[in-house]
A = this chain, B = another copy of it.
């Protein structure tokens, strides 16, 4: 059976960035830009007023206060009809283009406007004041953003201003969530005898949603070869397939065989991890435009699926997204208790932080919460994270430093 880092290495060696696709800008928040974006025009595209007031020629304003004749009024969205005549000012609004020979804008608050003239009050005036010259923000041909950056709100705004209404990105991951099992009913229903509600699909959908990924969830597939074959076939058109259940050693665990039949090559089955040991991983058949689907067969126990997602699926999603895979972010913590670990499985034990008032930089002290095993999702909502025990027997003494995976 593979150790956790070995299994993760197998997953990552089958993951590759998704192809670059041109997508509407408004759908690209959080995505990676795939190529540099260059400005198609100067920004601003004209000399622009930064305040409401009066466009002037500074040479007319020696020895303030001084009165200027009022020419035209230029609103935002309009264009001046002519240059300023000597001794003339144009009424101008924030964002409007300056007349070609105006070199400053005087704020309305520093003037005394009249009917057909305006008095410019005493103040320091210099060319360029309250004027954003054409091309000051960027010039046509400037590189606005480098390929590889993540599209944040400010960068989205910059691209919108530059008219990059479609952008080339590393395409987003299309994921399928496929709940299987005769025992499952929709979580909106009351389960009959021997049945339980399907809670894993919603958990996996929201784990994906937290990473900015929409997903397609299949109907619950019954444990019958035909039903599984049809449902899984559709899922294999997507990039990542999270099949829930049917991967243990039971008589009705038809998922691995059905996947193989559909051309999914098994990479590994079972990992030395607890919870989550029955994890199955394979790679789908070749596709023309996109890399083969990564297929995860997750155990049906909710905590197993959660831990498998965090450890194996999440880093693969990073790679598909064109990023380096990020690990789990395990931090040091003190164990509050003695733990006798008699297992060769790397073990994730739900724990809570018991010293809430510690300083922010000191490792927290943690103790296990009441835990009913991998089906016990209630334990993890009482927990602040997992204490990580190694894949060999060991004894942790109280006060010993251990690995701690915080959960949000």
Chain A residues within CB distance 8 Å of chain B? 25-26, 29, 43-46, 48, 50-52, 73, 75-79, 91, 93-97, 108-109, 132, 136-138, 144-145, 152-158, 160-163, 165, 181-184, 187-191, 193-200, 202-207, 209-210, 223, 245, 248-253, 300-302, 306, 361, 372-381, 407-408
Q: How many angstroms from the CA of A371 to the CA of B160 in the assembled complex?
A: 19
Give A121 Cβ to nearest chain B Cβ, in Å.
Answer: 15
Closest to A49 in B: B250
Q: How many angstroms from the CA of A200 to the CA of B191 in the assembled complex?
A: 49
Q: How many angstroms from the CA of A223 to the CA of B76 in the assembled complex?
A: 9
Q: How many angstroms from the CA of A163 to the CA of B202 in the assembled complex?
A: 12
Q: How many angstroms from the CA of A94 to the CA of B249 in the assembled complex?
A: 9
Quick one: copies of this chain in the complex? 2
**B residues less than 8 Å from A79 (CB atoms):** 193-194
Q: Which of B44, B94, B163 contacts A187 (CB 8 A)?
A: B163
Inter-subunit contact B203/A136 (CB<8 Å)? no
**B residues less than 8 Å from A78 (CB atoms):** 182, 194
Inter-subunit contact B132/A373 (CB<8 Å)? yes
Give A331 Cβ to nearest chain B Cβ, in Å.
Answer: 13
Q: Which of B75, B158, B160, B203 contacts A154 (CB 8 A)?
A: B203
Q: Give 6 closest A-B pairs by Cβ, nearest first.
A: A157-B203, A77-B182, A77-B183, A161-B199, A160-B199, A93-B250
Question: When A206-B156, A300-B94 are in contact, do A187 and B25 touch as well, CB less than 8 Å?
Answer: yes
**B residues less than 8 Å from A195 (CB atoms):** 77
**B residues less than 8 Å from A163 (CB atoms):** 187-190, 197
Inter-subunit contact B97/A194 (CB<8 Å)? yes
**B residues less than 8 Å from A145 (CB atoms):** 381
Q: How many angstroms from the CA of A17 to the CA of B87 in the assembled complex?
A: 57
Give A44 Cβ to nearest chain B Cβ, in Å.
Answer: 7
Inter-subunit contact B373/A50 (CB<8 Å)? yes
Inter-subunit contact B76/A181 (CB<8 Å)? yes
Give A191 Cβ to nearest chain B Cβ, in Å.
Answer: 7
Q: How many angstroms from the CA of A91 to the CA of B300 in the assembled complex?
A: 19
Q: Which of A73, A91, A109, A381 has the most CB of B within 10 A?
A: A381
Q: How many angstroms from the CA of A297 to the CA of B11 in the assembled complex?
A: 50
A sample of 8 inter-chain contacts (CB < 8 A) reads: A46-B194, A48-B375, A77-B195, A78-B182, A78-B194, A138-B378, A153-B204, A157-B306
Inter-subunit contact B161/A187 (CB<8 Å)? yes
Give A53 Cβ to nearest chain B Cβ, in Å.
Answer: 8
Q: How many angstroms from the CA of A190 to the CA of B163 in the assembled complex?
A: 7
Inter-subunit contact B75/A377 (CB<8 Å)? no
Inter-subunit contact B188/A165 (CB<8 Å)? yes
Closest to A206 in B: B153
**B residues less than 8 Å from A245 (CB atoms):** 95
**B residues less than 8 Å from A153 (CB atoms):** 203-204, 206-207, 210, 306
Q: How many angstroms from the CA of A200 to the CA of B153 in the assembled complex?
A: 10
**B residues less than 8 Å from A43 (CB atoms):** 378
Closest to A138 in B: B378
